[in-house]
């Protein structure tokens, strides 16, 4: 089986919650670094509220669990004005040393 083609550079981002001074918080995305990925669409659909939901799988090189370079659920990939919320991460069973990240892109029409 061929190795994943890591031909797209993405920024891995994590969300940070900052107190807003009124008992709540604001959310900001901070970059953690850049990763080369293989990006494949799984499927897409339009929900009843006019939101286009597209599901993708990203494959990238693995890092040790807990390393800042290892994607995890709740983070996102971003590039070229697009962002993809990571929902799950699993070792790639077909390729040792790679992980698969299952992510959703939402676009409001």
For the stretch 20-32, pLDDT in tens is 889 898 999 999 9
In a domain, 93, yes or no: yes
Q: Is the whole model's pTM more than 0.85, yes or no?
A: yes
In a domain, 65, yes or no: yes
Identify whether the C-beta of residue 8 lies closer than 8 Å to the C-beta of residue 100. Answer: no
In a domain, 2, yes or no: no
Burial of 104 (0-12, 13-18, 19+ CB in 10 A): middle
Instruction: Residue 60: give the domain boundaries.
Output: 8-18+27-108
Q: Residue 108 has what pLDDT?
A: 58
- What is the tens place of the pLDDT at every residue in 46-105? 877 777 889 999 999 999 988 989 999 999 999 988 999 999 999 999 999 999 999 999
In a domain, 1, yes or no: no
Identify whether the C-beta of residue 104 lies closer than 8 Å to the C-beta of residue 85. Answer: yes
In the chain, the number of structural domains is: 1
Task: Name the residue among 44, 54, 62 with its Cα closest to residue 6.
Answer: 62
Q: Residues in the chain, how many?
A: 109
Confidence of residue 109 (pLDDT cuts 50, 70, 90): low
């Amino acid at each position: 089986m061929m190795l994943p083609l890591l031909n797209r550079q993405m920024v891995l981002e994590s969300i940070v919650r900052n107190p807003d001074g009124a008992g709540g918080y604001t959310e900001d995305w901070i970059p953690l670094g850049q990763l080369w990925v293989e990006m494949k669409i799984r499927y897409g659909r339009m929900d009843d509220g006019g939101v286009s939901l597209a599901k993708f799988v990203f494959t990238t090189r693995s890092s040790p669990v807990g390393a800042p370079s290892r994607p995890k659920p709740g983070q996102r990939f971003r590039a070229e004005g697009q962002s993809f919320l990571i929902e799950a991460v699993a070792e790639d069973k077909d390729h040792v040393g790679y992980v698969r990240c299952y992510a959703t892109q939402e676009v409001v029409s």
